Amino acid sequence: MITAATAESAKMADKIEDLENRSRRSNIRMVGLPESITLPHLHRIFSETLPQLLGMQSPVKVERAHRIGPLRESRSPSSQQTGGEERSRQAIAKYLN
């Protein structure tokens, strides 16, 4: 009985991992965009600007666009001299098409 439950649990874990990976297929992650870019502008970058730069049909449909993680302070010596400016967080968008 325990062996069957363990096998079923492993099977379910594999299925969850597969579903999570499939849902990430439509995501694009951008690094280095300044924090000063607001969410509406971030959405426009992913739906209009990026597709134009890549030669794609524009605008594409973006389900959501947001930043990932908490704000962090930069650890570079130059930023410590200026009061520890924030490092930008990664931006991610989920596309519908």
What does the alpha-carbon distance between residue 28 and residue 24 come to, in Å, rounded to a whole number?
9
pLDDT of residue 1: 81
Contacts of 47 (CB under 8 A, 6+ apart): 58, 59, 60, 61, 62, 65, 93
Ordered mean pLDDT values, 10 residues apiece, the chain (97 residues): 91 93 88 94 93 84 93 62 68 90
What does the domain layout of the chain look like in residue ranges? 2-69+87-95
Predicted model pTM: 0.66
